[in-house]
Amino acid sequence: MTMAETAREFFEACETGKGWEVCSQFCTPEASFSAQAEPLAGVDTLEGYADWMKGLFTPVPNGSYELRSFAIDEERGNVCAYAVFSGTHTGEGGPIPPTGRSTASDYVYVMEFEGDKIAHMTKIWNSGAALKELGWA
């Protein structure tokens, strides 16, 4: 599988809430994660992030994404995916009872590879705007 194929399959699995159980096949066992986003404070493994995304589908059961850009940087061994996540807080289990409010939130994944597996991912996301749109902040 090419770097692009691995990145795309990981992205699709993660963004549809499949969790680490499915996402792990595309990553090194100790894959790390970073983000400068308050809701993800303390999440430092890709396993933790994949399962966080899976959990997001409880309060936001209609969550979906639109992939807007997908770029492969062979020289640096990474893939960038820019997308917009959309969804409405109609399910229980969020930080507050369902608000019925929606978000359309821009974000970027930068997936760094070791060989044919993702070893680290950085998420670039303005979480504050998304939380305000959902009525969580």
User: In the predicted model, what is the mean pLDDT of residues 34-53?
Assistant: 97
pTM of the model: 0.95
Domain that holds residue 19: 3-134
CATH code of the domain containing 87: 3.10.450.50
Condensed to tens digits (0 to 9), the pLDDT of residues 55-109 reads 999 999 999 999 999 999 999 999 999 999 999 999 998 788 999 999 999 999 9
Rounded CA gap, 73 and 12, in Å? Answer: 19
Half-sphere exposure (CA, 13 Å, Cβ side) for 42?
2
What local confidence, expressed as pLDDT, does residue 91 receive?
A: 95
Half-sphere exposure (CA, 13 Å, Cβ side) for 62?
11
Beta bridge partners of 112: 78, 120
Amino acid at 64: S
Number of domains the chain contains: 1
Phi-psi region of 31 (alpha: psi -120 to 50; beta: other; left: phi over 0): beta
